[in-house]
């Protein structure tokens, strides 16, 4: 029932190896055997500790974006952008990268991203712009720019975006997100 010291260590080793493998190769290409090899244990242990590959994946891809409280923030977009870039630059929070890679082919990962959007991103931005009736649409646009930046810079590694330094990238992301949050959504003279 309780965890002893040894079991906790190998448990952690499995999690670490799994995070790196899933983040680097995606769900399908990652094998239990490879994770076990990285953690220097037997493949069967992975199953004993986590039940199945899918459950291990679930344990490793729980994402908390830790979006800062943006209530009453004058420049919410900038803070949001910086928080995102900081998370990916740190490199040890691999859950987001795992999810980004898995979502295109794994419906459950896609659902998880949808949940993150609805429960973390939208409320946070709504707190900063409580009176904006289009905040959900704006939040989706913010997400699209965020996801695109991650995809191009951190996954595809396309130049010159890949080798710009983090401040430049954070600024560029912040500018675009700020515009999504504040620019008029419809061309003047049109009504919905």
Q: Measuring CA to CA, how many Å separate 186 from each of 27, 135, 136, 181?
A: 40, 14, 15, 13
Which of 38/136 has CB closer to a second copy?
136
Task: Name the segment binding a second copy (CB under 8 A); options: 68-76, 84-92, 125-133, 178-186.
Answer: 178-186
Of 116, 111, 138, 144, which Cα lies nearest the Cα of 125? Answer: 138
Residue 4 binds which of a second copy, DNA, none (CB < 5-8 A, kind-dependent): DNA
Residues 146 and 177: their CA atoms lie apart, in Å, by 8
Complex with a second copy: residue 13 or 124, whichever CB lies closer: 124
Told to check if 180 binds a second copy by CB under 8 A, we report: yes
Q: CA quadruple 168, 172, 173, 179: dihedral positive or negative?
A: positive
Of the listed pieces 1-9, 48-56, 58-66, 135-143, which binds a second copy according to CB under 8 A? Answer: 135-143
**Contacts of a second copy in 42-101 (CB under 8 A):** 100-101
Rounded distance between C-alpha atoms, residue 128 and residue 80, angstroms: 11
What DSSP string describes 49-75? HHSSHHHHHHHH------PPP-TT-TT
d(CA 160, CA 141) in angstroms, rounded, equals 23
Q: Which of 11, 25, 38, 47 binds a second copy (CB under 8 A)?
A: 25
Report whether 181 contacts 75 (CB < 8 A).
Answer: no
Interacting residues toward DNA by CB under 7 A:
1, 3-4, 6-7, 9-10, 30-34, 40-48, 52-54
Interacting residue ranges for a second copy, rule: CB under 8 A: 25-26, 28-29, 100-101, 103-105, 110, 113-114, 117, 136-137, 140-141, 143-149, 151-153, 155-161, 164, 171-172, 175-176, 179-180, 183, 185-187
């Amino acid at each position: 029932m309780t965890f002893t010291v040894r079991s906790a260590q190998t448990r952690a080793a499995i999690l670490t190896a799994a995070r790196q493998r899933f983040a680097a190769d995606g769900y399908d290409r990652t094998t239990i055997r490879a994770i076990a090899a990285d953690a220097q244990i037997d493949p069967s242990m992975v199953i004993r500790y986590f039940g199945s590959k899918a459950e291990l994946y679930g344990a490793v891809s729980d994402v908390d974006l830790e979006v800062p409280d943006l209530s009453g923030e004058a420049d919410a977009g900038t803070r949001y952008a910086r928080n995102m870039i900081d998370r990916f630059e740190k490199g040890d929070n691999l859950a987001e990268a795992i999810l980004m890679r898995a979502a295109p082919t794994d419906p459950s990962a896609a659902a998880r991203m949808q949940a993150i959007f609805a429960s973390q991103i939208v409320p946070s931005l709504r707190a900063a712009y409580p009176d904006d009736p289009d905040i959900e649409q704006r939040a989706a646009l913010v997400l699209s720019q965020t996801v695109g930046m991650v995809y191009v810079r951190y996954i595809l590694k396309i130049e010159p975006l890949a080798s710009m330094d983090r401040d430049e990238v954070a600024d560029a992301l912040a500018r675009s997100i700020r515009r999504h949050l504040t620019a008029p959504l419809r061309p003047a003279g049109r009504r919905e």
